[in-house]
């Protein structure tokens, strides 16, 4: 079982990753005309406003305790009224991409934390930076999967004709079961891991170049 320090090294980057991901959705939605999330207090960096018992706590904890070497999670979806967005479906795409985009920005921030920690020889921050990059890359790729209600499905839905989009969105009621099934059957090794490893390769190159 991981010790307390190891838990913190994982939990801090994961909480930031999930919280900022959801806050980014709400912030962009507010900028595009839908203030639902802001009125409900979801455009905030307070993790307690975004925690989902299964996606934020149970799943990451099981993966961490099992030493799977692979950790991900999700938060309560930010409420979005897509009908209130300016630019219609284009606004929907921007709101959907805001979350994964925030994760990539955070991964870059953790890269600089890691560079500073390496130069100052702070082992805990080096490891936290590594986990921060990993977690944010995993969440960015994971959320772009075209499985409702993930962000990737919102992009697909916005690109489909209305009738097909409606039928496609009906899958959302089965989304959690599909995701859990993929996790336990090892589907993420084929759908997520290759893309994560590709992005991590770019970050490793940047670390060598900037370090």
Instruction: Please give the pLDDT value at position 70.
Output: 61
pLDDT tens, 149-189? Answer: 899 999 999 999 999 999 999 999 998 889 888 878 888 88
- Taking the CA atoms of residue 189, residue 190, residue 192 and residue 196 in that order, the dihedral angle to the nearest 10 degrees is 80
Q: Domains of the chain: which residue ranges?
A: 4-210
Instruction: Please give the pLDDT value at position 67.
Output: 63
Residue labelled with tokens 């170049």: 209
Res. 63: pLDDT tops 80 = no
pLDDT tens, 71-97? Answer: 666 778 888 888 888 888 899 999 999
Report the distance separating Cα 151 and Cα 18, nearest Å. 13
For residue 127, indicate whether it is catalytic.
Answer: no
Contact, 51 vs 75, CB < 8 A?
yes
Report the distance separating Cα 45 and Cα 75, nearest Å. 13
One DSSP character per residue, 45-70 reads S-GGGT--IIIIIIHHHHHHHTT-S-
pLDDT tens, 97-142? Answer: 999 999 999 999 999 999 999 999 999 999 999 999 999 999 999 9
Report the distance separating Cα 176 and Cα 163, nearest Å. 23
């Amino acid at each position: 079982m991981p010790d307390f320090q190891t838990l913190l090294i994982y939990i801090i980057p994961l909480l930031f990753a999930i919280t900022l991901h959801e806050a980014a959705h709400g912030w962009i939605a507010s900028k595009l005309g839908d203030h639902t999330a802001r009125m409900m207090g979801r455009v905030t960096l307070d993790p307690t406003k975004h925690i989902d018992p299964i996606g934020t706590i149970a799943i990451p904890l099981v993966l961490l305790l099992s030493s799977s070497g692979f950790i991900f999670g999700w938060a309560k979806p930010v409420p979005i009224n897509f009908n209130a967005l300016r630019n219609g479906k284009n606004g929907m795409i921007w709101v959907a991409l805001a979350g994964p985009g925030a994760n990539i920005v955070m991964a870059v921030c953790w890269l600089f934390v890691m560079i500073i920690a390496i130069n100052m020889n702070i082992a805990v921050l080096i490891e936290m930076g590594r986990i921060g990059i990993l977690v944010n890359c995993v969440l960015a790729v994971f959320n772009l999967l075209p499985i409702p209600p993930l962000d990737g499905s919102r992009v697909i839905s916005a690109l489909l004709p209305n009738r097909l989009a409606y039928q496609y969105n009906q899958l959302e009621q089965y989304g959690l079961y599909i995701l859990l099934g993929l996790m336990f059957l090892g589907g993420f090794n084929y759908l997520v891991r290759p893309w994560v490893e590709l992005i991590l390769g770019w970050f490793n190159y940047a670390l060598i170049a900037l370090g």
